[in-house]
Structure 1
């Protein structure tokens, strides 16, 4: 975990002029520690493959497991809502998805506007179009193909090529296209733009409670579930013992102060709690999916479920 330090620079500062703490201190820039903590695992190089391990958490006294991705999550100003990026899915005029075509994105981690959450943009191509002829958004625009923005969102974090999950069956590892280059991502399926709260415990001095698993109050299948979580900082007394609290009700009963933060994290839960019954889709969710299919989104959903969706990383040319 990293504590964010705010560095104030002059108005004529040029981005990336300072590249080290020595550069900052030599320039005499003002450094102000904040109360914001972020979980940013470090890898040796930008392109190093990553093994994503499962992290344990608590849901209503039962154990859950989730993956944690470190890509920055854009949010709307003043609210815990994720801003999606566009992903382009190609279809023929009859609504049939182009077989063998990999989806196209125009941003990757580090680019302005990148998001792990993608909004599906339906691209209609002529009947004689051959799969993967188009490999970039620029080519779509140059060809003049019609683009329809759909109300379909998918959680597909871009990852380095060769990355893997501790259980590969948890999400497909998929290739896509980014400006003519191959990119790779994990496809965790549909997800709303809204977030859910995740409760992270800290002592009064701002240090995380060692050994304490984070706490959530919703799981997949429930109407308010989202893999994108807004961090809520919970302040506990100095004599608190890790994992004494294993549910939101425990936190509330103890009257621990809970402070919402502006930090959003992408942590899809992949294992249901062992101490709680599995939750089925509600009638409202089922009707929502049916309505989407009736509106012509069925082909897109099939593509996503087949793993031709999103989660990318720039590979070497």
Structure 2
């Protein structure tokens, strides 16, 4: 405020000082000091709305060595480059397997993840029970950064009743403004991907298969949303898991074995004998899977959960992977 006074207000007052009665002079001084010479309040740090259509977009790389585990460009140069669109509707990103009762299921493969979700911030105006219309949700980590997860713990942010959408575009801005933040009991599965990426399958027809925009440190970020089952964090705040039983063309204890060799499939088919212990209609379903590897010598005997559990298990809990089921057929 002091620099505004020196640059704009004081010269005007000096000119008017000898022309106005003292009372009017005092009135003008107070008026200018309070509102500025253009009649608007002086608030150089005041709210500015950012148009997402004109904001810079963040670069995303899911296949760097820091972001990927099963899918790394350093070991598979055919994977899309940094910030290049990814087609998840083709191999190796989509798999056909079995459900617990022998159902045919399809699921996406979004790589290895932690059970510790990251926060996502959803803004609500004071006194309202729906998110601010038009406001993009806010995240603070990207694939490859410490603490990133496709699974997000929803945090409700309460903003003033007169708040304008997209005035706030970062977690730092939320904290600086001192808005109230409340942890909810909701988890969402929203993998962050490069713009233009596609994953068109969903378990229900009510789910939106397209990309959703959000804010990351004042930049626009893109992510999918999988809503086949409502998820809540466990008592320790972690993402719940569910078992899956898988087998590979080469067993993991052999040279070149495990994931690099690919899932074993039926001849001339994409059908694996991987078995998910739960599907989205089950109460204990989770798309974050606890991977158990069985001997590929038992491949032919596996057709459901019971038969998978009766195989020779070579490794329990070999990985924890994000694999949302997107179709189930009897």
Smaller-chain TM-score bracket: 0.5 to 0.7
Which has more radius of gyration? Answer: 2
Following TM superposition, by how much is the alpha carbon of 1:179 offset from its aligned partner in structure 2, in angstroms? 0.2
Q: 2:306 matched to 1:246?
A: no
Measure, in 2, the Cα distance between the counterparts of 1:269 and 1:41: 23
Aligned to 2:81: 45
Q: 2:246 matched to 1:200?
A: yes
Alignment counterpart, residue 292 of structure 2, candidates 232, 249, 254: 232
Deviating above 6 A after TM superposition, structure 1's stretches of 4 or more consecutive aligned residues are none
Aligned to 2:104: 63
Taking the TM superposition and a 5 Å limit, the aligned residue runs for 1:254-269 are 255-257=311-313, 259-269=315-325
Instruction: Decide whether the 8 Å contact of 1:172 with 1:188 is kept in 2.
Output: no
Following TM superposition, by how much is the alpha carbon of 1:40 offset from its aligned partner in structure 2, in angstroms? 1.4
Measure, in 2, the Cα distance between the counterparts of 1:113 and 1:52: 23
How many pairs does the alignment contain?
A: 227
Alignment counterpart, residue 115 of structure 1, candidates 149, 162, 171: 149
Could you say if the C-alpha distance between residues 252 and 141 of structure 1 is closer, same or farther in structure 2, counting changes exceeding 3 Å? closer
Instruction: Decide whether the 8 Å contact of 1:191 with 1:227 is kept in 2.
Output: no
Deviates more, 1:159-168 or 1:120-129: 159-168
Measure, in 2, the Cα distance between the counterparts of 1:69 and 1:155: 11
Following TM superposition, by how much is the alpha carbon of 1:263 offset from its aligned partner in structure 2, in angstroms? 1.1
Alignment counterpart, residue 181 of structure 2, candidates 132, 143, 147: 147
Q: 2:247 matched to 1:191?
A: no
Consecutive unaligned residues of structure 2, counting only runs of 5 or more, are: 1-63, 74-78, 233-238, 266-271
Could you say if the C-alpha distance between residues 144 and 229 of structure 1 is closer, same or farther in structure 2, counting changes exceeding 3 Å? same
Instruction: Decide whether the 8 Å contact of 1:118 with 1:155 is kept in 2.
Output: yes
Instruction: Decide whether the 8 Å contact of 1:68 with 1:267 is kept in 2.
Output: yes
Measure, in 2, the Cα distance between the counterparts of 1:61 and 1:69: 23
Does the residue aligned with 1:52 lie in a helix, a strand or coil?
Answer: coil
Alignment counterpart, residue 217 of structure 1, candidates 264, 272, 277: 277
Q: CA RMSD in A?
A: 2.3
Following TM superposition, by how much is the alpha carbon of 1:172 offset from its aligned partner in structure 2, in angstroms? 4.1
Relative contact order higher in (CA < 8 Å, ≥ 6 apart): 1
Measure, in 2, the Cα distance between the counterparts of 1:115 and 1:139: 22
Does the residue aligned with 1:164 lie in a helix, a strand or coil?
Answer: coil
TM-score (normalised: structure 2): 0.64
Measure, in 2, the Cα distance between the counterparts of 1:91 and 1:181: 21
Does the residue aligned with 2:167 lie in a helix, a strand or coil?
Answer: coil
Deviations 1:152-204, CA, capped at 9 Å, x for gaps: 11111111111011447663420000001100111113324210011111455
Instruction: Decide whether the 8 Å contact of 2:96 with 2:104 is kept in 1.
Output: yes
Aligned to 1:163: 197
Measure, in 2, the Cα distance between the counterparts of 1:44 and 1:230: 27
Measure, in 1, the Cα distance between the counterparts of 2:221 and 2:97: 30
